[in-house]
Structure 1
Amino acid sequence: MWSRDLDVLVPMWQGADDLRVREGPAALAALTAPGARRVTVPVPAGAAQRAGGVRNRAAVVDAYRAHRDVLARHRPRRLLTLGGDCAVEVASVAHLAGRYARRLFVLWIDAHADLNTPASSPSATAHGMPLRLLLDDDAQDALPTPACLSPRQVALVGVRDLDPAEVEYVRRHELTVLDAPTLDAQPTRLAALPPPDAAVYVHLDLDVLDPSVLPAVAVPAPGGLTAAALARSLTALRARHDVVGVGITEYVPQLAHDQQALIEVLTAFGLTDAPA
């Protein structure tokens, strides 16, 4: 089992503007052995008008502040975040960046880079902006939070559906990218990305899996990973590195699917009672 101080369930859906992902945290929690403490973050129930180039901005900001306050109260050093949409990751990663500073290394395992700003986003949804918020202050119209990561602290894994502005950002900042075909063929490549002394945070948007494997996600994208390759990658990562945080997002349990792929991945994380 992966030991952690706190599990936070953050049923925010407004960042994706997709009510379906609200059910994801509770469904994931039901499949996951609890850590030392489990808390559900109170988030707004409804939507809000678009503001500052972001849909439902007021609700997203309120949820972020509630999440941040829970983390400040419990002060975890090892943290599991079950979302909701990907915008929930901003508070969790920022909290651990405050704990581990430049030792923190973030593996952004996702079909999408989430590197848009309110100005560049075609959809104006906050769930396409969290990594940019963590890296740059130029996205703060979405959330009032200072950047806390440098490009050297991040690797993009499995990304394949990027907007033009995101492609340019990746190129300009020379972000490390490990694509899905490479990882499928060489699962141990994931463990080679963080520095030896890193404190690793793993962001997992379940849409990194191919839709044929797990269709129950908010924004499916073809060309993704198999569950077996992702599970082997995570097992190798945990064997070599200190994983201090995990975030799992964008699950839509209402859609028809076989849970076996999801259970395989959760087991590799050490989040179930089954041996990894």
Structure 2
Amino acid sequence: GRPLPRLPVLPGSRVVVAGIRGVEDSEVAALDRAGIRHLDVDAATPEALAETVAATGSGSVFVHVDLDVLDPSEVDGLLEPVPFGLDGAGLVALIQAATRGRRLLGAALTGFAPVDPDRAVDDLGVILRAVGALANAAKTP
């Protein structure tokens, strides 16, 4: 038998990556070869993201939020902090833009790596706003 069940494969043309920065030319070339639409942090406005997601033709989305998209001044406990990222309000606006008018199939929130519990508390406001935006999107049919 097969060790893993046969899983559906999502074509690159149905994937959107937004808010990237600090990437190598070879990484951008790999995204292009795979047909993955991508917006760097400066191009990732809510309007541009909504248009880019609409261009996939999908009526539903899975939203993966890597908290490293945030600026390190917003969240201390990032796994791979890179300067000049989004602020909390910008992240919420992008989540809303990506999900507006679409069914949310699921979501992931990754990249949080606080050095200790006391310092993690300082980051929770931003993280909970992102969770709230995903929760609101899940309520929308």
Q: TM-score, normalised by structure 2?
A: 0.75
Over 3 Å counting, the alpha-carbon distance change for 1:241 and 1:161 in structure 2 is: same
> What is the aligned counterpart of 1:251 among 107, 112, 127?
112
Partner of 1:270 in structure 2? 135
Deviation (angstroms), 1:215: 2.2
- Kept in 2: contact 1:209–1:224 (CA 8 A): yes
- Kept in 1: contact 2:18–2:38 (CA 8 A): yes
After the TM superposition, which residues 151-230 of structure 1 pair with which residues of structure 2 at under 5 Å, given as runs?
151-183=12-44, 186-194=45-53, 195-230=56-91
- Kept in 1: contact 2:71–2:82 (CA 8 A): yes
Identity, in percent, stands at 27
Partner of 1:236 in structure 2? 97
For structure 1, the 5+ residue unaligned runs are 1-64, 73-93, 99-147, 272-276
Deviation (angstroms), 1:192: 2.3
1:164, 1:197 → 2: CA distance?
Answer: 28
- Kept in 2: contact 1:187–1:230 (CA 8 A): no
Quick one: which amino acid aligns to residue 59 of structure 2?
Answer: A
For structure 2, the 5+ residue unaligned runs are 137-141
Quick one: which amino acid aligns to residue 108 of structure 2?
Answer: G
Residues 71-103 of structure 1 deviation map (CA, whole Å, 9 limit, x = unaligned): x7xxxxxxxxxxxxxxxxxxxxx95xx3xxxxx
Based on CA coordinates, which of the two structures has the bigger radius of gyration? Answer: 1
**What's the C-alpha RMSD, in Å, of the aligned pairs?**
2.5
1:197, 1:236 → 2: CA distance?
Answer: 14
Over 3 Å counting, the alpha-carbon distance change for 1:161 and 1:211 in structure 2 is: same
Quick one: which amino acid aligns to residue 188 of structure 1?
Answer: E
Quick one: which amino acid aligns to residue 33 of structure 2?
Answer: R
1:202, 1:169 → 2: CA distance?
Answer: 21
Q: TM-score, normalised by structure 1?
A: 0.41
- Kept in 2: contact 1:154–1:176 (CA 8 A): yes
The alignment covers a number of residue pairs equal to 128
